[in-house]
Amino acid sequence: MAVNISKTGNTLVVRFDYSPVRVTKVKSIKGYKWNPDKKIWTVPFTEGNLNILKVLFNNEEKNIENIENIDGEENLKNRQILLKMEEEIKLKGYSFETKKSYMGHIRRFSSFINKDLDKVSSEDVRKYALFILEKEGLSHSYVNQAISSIKFLCNDVLNQNTIINAIPRPKKVKKLPVVLNFHEVTKILDALKNEKHKAILFLIYSAGLRVGEVVKLKAKDIDNERMLIHVVQGKGKKDRYTVLSQITLKQLRKYYSLYKPEEWLFPGQNDKGHITERTVEKIFKNACDIVNIKKEVSVHSLRHSFATHLLEGGVDLRYIQELLGHASSKTTEIYTHVTQKSLTNIKSPLDNIMTCNRNGYKGS
């Protein structure tokens, strides 16, 4: 069951299926109450509490109903600051995804501190960082992104360059990408019955595309003569070319003959705009469930697998960097840590010991 949040009078009503984690989250809000008869949680209605609930249940499906914005002089001032920030982001040429992320972080931060943004202090930032790190249990990467958003607000919008300098940043957690082997990739792709879904995942794996890139493809981006895919304005607002496989081209032709897309290669519902990233993620997850993939993977794991399999196949790291659209070779080098090519040439000392013992070596 999704988390349902609604407003009754001056109260926010929160409903969900019981879990200790959810209960702990609601209890972190001052003024919470439990109604055993109606089996609902209530908290005082403020814009701050509403946004705290959104942050607390950030990774869960939510239904938010009958919520009105609170009008007031303070909110008007903050809305003007947010508008200025949005304009500044556009002037600097940041991507839509960056704008969406930064604005979301600042709105959550604004609700948390519950005061004019132009009166923000280092202590406000510190408390917020601790809240989302400890109370929320969000990743170091998420906290660092939140701090970067607040830094942009302070430095580029409010011209207050000293506020963020005193805030320590959580150490970035270095994780290796989860890679699917050839057999697992084949099982996932074979589980797809819908030709459109097949075409999407075939493209992601065979060309190493990001999910945000595949959804924005247009028919004209597929160059079947040069066997290349033109990725227009990918991450970092950079164009690049990547490979088009023969099998993917065959699948694309099958899909095209059935669906006959016009502007977008993969249109969304009712042909309005392109398919959403969330839809693609669901397609991938459903395929993984069907074939019982136990690894903690996402649709982005297909891109990781593309890079790793190329490296294992002997493709130079510099070419892989170009295909993936990485600005730095250091980003691509992470795949050297997960490839089997180099690791399988290393023999464990235990195997050497057992071999010596079988050959009659007793040691000194």
Most confident of 30-39, 74-83, 277-286, 335-344: 277-286
User: Is there a contact between 325 and 240 (Cβ–Cβ < 8 Å)?
Assistant: yes
Instruction: Determine the Cα–Cα distance for residues 254 and 246; give it in Å rounded to an integer.
Output: 13
State whether CATH 1.10.443.10 applies to domain 182-342: yes
- Give the 3-state DSSP-derived string for 9-42, with helices as H, strands as E and coil as C: CCEEEEECCCCHHHHHHHHCCCCCEEECCCCEEE
Question: Which pLDDT score is estimated for 195?
Answer: 94
**pLDDT of 173-220, one tens digit each?**
677 888 899 999 999 999 999 999 999 999 999 999 999 999 999 999
For the chain, give every domain's residue range: 3-44, 73-157, 182-342
Cβ contacts of 232 within 8 Å, gap of 6 or more: 216, 218, 221, 239
Classify domain 73-157 at the CATH topology level.
DNA polymerase; domain 1 (1.10.150)
Question: Which of 82, 16, 79, 14 has its CA nearest to residue 53?
Answer: 14
Which of residues 45 and 264 earns the better pLDDT score?
Answer: 264
Catalytic residues: 210, 235, 300, 303, 326, 335
**pLDDT of 85-95, one tens digit each?**
999 998 988 88
Q: Is 4 helix (H, G, I), strand (E, B) or coil?
A: strand
- Per-residue pLDDT band at 341 (split at 50, 70, 90): low
Question: Which pLDDT score is estimated for 265?
Answer: 93
Average pLDDT over residues 111-124: 85
Q: What is the CA radius of gyration of the chain?
A: 25
Q: How far apart are the first and last CA of the chain?
A: 67
